[in-house]
């Protein structure tokens, strides 16, 4: 008799639970017997596998094989009348128009479109293939990168005296070194001051790699673009000096004092030449001098910026130069900013001084602090002054094409980005560096960095664009690194920036033409009023003198009122046109 009972519940749901515990009691102790060992064969090692889980069987199933059949529909053109020439386009078009005007044409077309097979084919043809790579020819659009910067190194003046950094220059050998000129603006402490300047290694911010020892402070120090061992400098005595760091910390040659500038030489720049030894300098005495380092005693050429009478070349009437610019790709062309806010675009090849300074821009109301051309769009340049920055085009001489809003703090300088042509930097008196990108926004900077609490004096971007050296009034130089969004150009940035500059240039040309027309109109009105006034005074009779004066006064008052109303009308027209 086979008794069997099946429990349908789990073991944990019936019966008493087992409870195990330690129990110190030996029931049986069987000792091993040595004689039984020959009955057994010892196997070493012994491995035995156990499986506590359920055993599952593996089974593979294939789906039914899909069979495909290619079928097509053949559409043959036919049904034309016998008297119709199919090759004649005009007859075919005329016949089609006749058929389309028929009342049964629309009904027939609807029946054909609703036909099941035709509709199924159309829907099948329009079905999107999820495995097909659509728009593979288009490049993926990169996400908008965040604009930021960080301070890499800080280079401090070795001397305890707080001296202002007046100029920075990167070496042409991939920018591993930069030169900084120091000048003490405190007249009370200048007597015992050491007028040294330094050349710094980018990787070593602790000590300068070389100390330049002039006999007077250096205001401008510039590397030669073809030789990283040659530098030129402008001194406070108005002289220029040439340096060769291979020969030591002393200048190798200095210009003579009687043939140099009358005021401090604050600007020097190298120019393009076959020998690579020519440069030019500017000073607040209003003179521009061209030099050759092979013969530095006297300048090779001198130009006096006398705007009243350029041909006289009178130094006493010259206007001080505050900014100097030279673009290597433009040959003999140069630019300079003056103390009266005028920018001169000159050409060294001019035969007379008047031809050399023929082009003038009324850029600022005060002195021009900064002046620099765009490295890519050389026709466009910016000027800094009057708490604002203005962007100009050489095609528009009367007004700028773009400008920044008025800043709360005074601007101390600026520079274009070397790699991204729509970006420029501005340094301010409160120690802030503003980064502007005209393609992103034109009313405010895209990035504002608080570099330090002191006044920033100059900025010089690195030739690769990612680094920039910023100096302040206490002799400290900060090396800043910018993000990729501020240093690299996108695919269409050049076209967009070109369109932006062209659009603004055309707008200013239209405004200039409108202003000329209004000025001519005002001139004609003024001449008409003068003729009316003269005709009212002239008469055959001799009026009494006591009656003559009130008539003339009334006429003058009427003319003044008329001119005032015309001026108001012109201003309102200009404002409405600009809006």
Within-domain flag for 239: yes
How confident is the model over 221-232, as a mean pLDDT?
92
pTM for the whole structure: 0.66
Bridge-partner residues for 6, per DSSP?
none
d(CA 29, CA 9): 40
Buried b (16+ CB within 10 A) or exposed e, 169-190: bbbeeebebbbbbbbbeeeeee
**Which position has the higher pLDDT, 342 or 88?**
342
pLDDT tens track for 497-515: 999 999 999 998 888 888 8
- Which H or E run contains 154? strand 149-155
Q: What is the mean pLDDT of the chain?
A: 83
Bridge-partner residues for 65, per DSSP?
none
- Whether the pLDDT of residue 285 is over 80: the answer is yes
d(CA 499, CA 401): 13
- Whether the pLDDT of residue 26 is over 50: the answer is yes
pLDDT at 479: 94
pLDDT at 125: 77
pLDDT tens track for 315-369: 888 999 999 999 888 888 899 999 999 999 988 888 888 888 878 998 888 899 9
**CB burial class (10 A; 0-12, 13-18, 19+) of residue 255?**
buried
Distance of CA 102 to the CA centre of its chain: 66
Q: Are 421 and 497 in contact, with CB atoms under 8 Å apart?
A: yes
How confident is the model over 455-461, as a mean pLDDT?
94
Degrees to nearest 5, angle at CA 494 with 489 and 498: 145
Within-domain flag for 108: no
End-to-end Cα spacing for the chain:
112
Within-domain flag for 308: yes
**Which position has the higher pLDDT, 397 or 20?**
397
Within-domain flag for 131: no
* Domain tally, the chain: 1
Q: Could you tell me the pLDDT band of residue 571, with boundaries at 50, 70 and 90?
A: low
pLDDT at 53: 74
pLDDT at 222: 94
Within-domain flag for 173: yes
Within-domain flag for 58: no
Give one DSSP letter per residue of 356-420, joined into a string. Answer: HT-EEEE--SS---EEEE-SSSTTEEEEEETTEEEEEETTB-SS-SEEPPPPSS-EEEEEE-SS-
pLDDT at 424: 94
CATH at residue 434: 2.130.10.10
**Of the ranges 66-70, 264-268, 331-335, 340-344, which one carries the lowest mean pLDDT score?**
66-70
pLDDT tens track for 89-121: 888 888 888 888 888 888 887 776 665 667 777
Work out the number of other CB atoms within 10 angstroms of the CB of residue 247.
Answer: 10
- Whether the pLDDT of residue 577 is over 60: the answer is no
pLDDT at 539: 47
Q: Are 292 and 249 in contact, with CB atoms under 8 Å apart?
A: no
**CB burial class (10 A; 0-12, 13-18, 19+) of residue 288?**
buried
**Of the ranges 367-371, 386-390, 492-496, 568-572, which one carries the lowest mean pLDDT score?**
568-572
Within-domain flag for 548: no
**Of the ranges 19-33, 293-307, 446-460, which one carries the lowest mean pLDDT score?**
19-33
Q: Could you tell me the pLDDT band of residue 548, with boundaries at 50, 70 and 90?
A: very low
- Whether the pLDDT of residue 549 is over 50: the answer is no
| Containing structural domain, residue 477 | 149-509
């Amino acid at each position: 008799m086979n008794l069997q009972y099946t429990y349908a519940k789990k073991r944990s749901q019936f019966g008493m639970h087992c409870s195990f515990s330690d129990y110190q009691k030996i029931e049986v102790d069987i000792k091993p017997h040595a004689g039984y060992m020959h009955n057994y064969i010892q196997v070493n090692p012994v491995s035995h596998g156990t499986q506590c889980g359920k055993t599952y069987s593996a089974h593979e199933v294939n789906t039914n094989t899909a069979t495909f059949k290619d079928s097509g529909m053949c559409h043959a053109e036919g049904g034309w009348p016998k008297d119709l020439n199919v090759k004649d386009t005009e007859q075919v078009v005329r016949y089609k128009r006749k058929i389309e005007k028929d009342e049964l044409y629309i009904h027939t077309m609807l029946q054909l479109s609703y036909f099941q097979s035709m509709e199924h084919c159309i829907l099948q043809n329009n079905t999107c293939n999820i495995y097909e790579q659509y728009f593979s020819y288009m490049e993926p659009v990169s996400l908008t990168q965040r604009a930021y910067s960080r301070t890499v190194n800080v280079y401090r003046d070795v001397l305890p005296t707080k001296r202002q950094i007046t100029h920075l220059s990167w070496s042409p050998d991939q920018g591993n070194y930069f030169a900084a000129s120091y000048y003490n603006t405190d007249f009370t402490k200048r007597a015992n001051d050491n007028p040294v300047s330094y050349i710094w290694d980018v990787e070593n911010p602790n000590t300068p790699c070389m100390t330049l020892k002039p006999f007077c402070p250096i205001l401008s120090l510039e590397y030669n673009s073809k030789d990283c061992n040659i530098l030129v400098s402008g001194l406070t005595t108005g002289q220029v000096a040439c340096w060769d760091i291979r020969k030591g910390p002393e200048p190798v040659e200095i210009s003579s004092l009687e043939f140099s500038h009358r005021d401090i030489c604050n600007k020097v720049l190298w120019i393009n030449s076959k020998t690579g030894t020519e440069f030019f300098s500017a000073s607040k005495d209003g003179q521009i001098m061209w030099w050759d380092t092979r013969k530095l005693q006297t300048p090779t050429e001198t130009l006096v910026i006398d705007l009243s009478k350029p041909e006289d070349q009178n130094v006493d009437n010259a206007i001080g130069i505050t900014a100097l610019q030279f673009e290597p790709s433009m040959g003999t062309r140069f630019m300079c900013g003056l103390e009266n806010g005028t920018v001169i675009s000159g050409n060294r090849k001019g035969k007379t001084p008047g031809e050399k300074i023929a082009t003038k821009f009324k850029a600022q109301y005060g002195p021009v602090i900064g002046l620099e051309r765009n490295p890519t769009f050389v026709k466009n340049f910016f000027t800094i002054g009057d708490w604002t920055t203005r962007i100009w085009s050489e095609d528009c001489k009367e007004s700028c094409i773009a400008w920044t809003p008025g800043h709360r703090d005074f601007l101390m300088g600026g520079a274009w980005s070397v790699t991204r042509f729509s970006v420029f930097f501005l340094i301010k008196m409160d120690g802030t560096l503003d980064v502007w990108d005209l393609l992103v926004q034109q009313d405010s900077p895209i990035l504002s960095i608080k570099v330090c609490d002191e006044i920033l004096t100059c900025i010089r971007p690195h030739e690769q664009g990612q680094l920039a050296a910023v100096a302040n009034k206490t002799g400290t130089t900060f090396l800043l690194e910018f993000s990729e969004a501020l240093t690299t150009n996108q695919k269409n940035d050049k076209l967009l920036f070109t369109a932006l500059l062209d659009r603004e240039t055309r707008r200013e040309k239209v405004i200039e033409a409108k202003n000329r027309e209004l000025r001519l109109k005002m001139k004609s009105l003024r001449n008409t009023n003068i003729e009316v006034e003269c005709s009212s005074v002239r008469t055959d009779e001799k009026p009494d003198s006591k009656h003559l004066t009130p008539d003339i006064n009334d006429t003058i008052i009427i003319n003044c009122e008329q001119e005032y109303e015309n001026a108001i009308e012109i201003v309102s027209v200009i404002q409405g046109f600009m809006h």
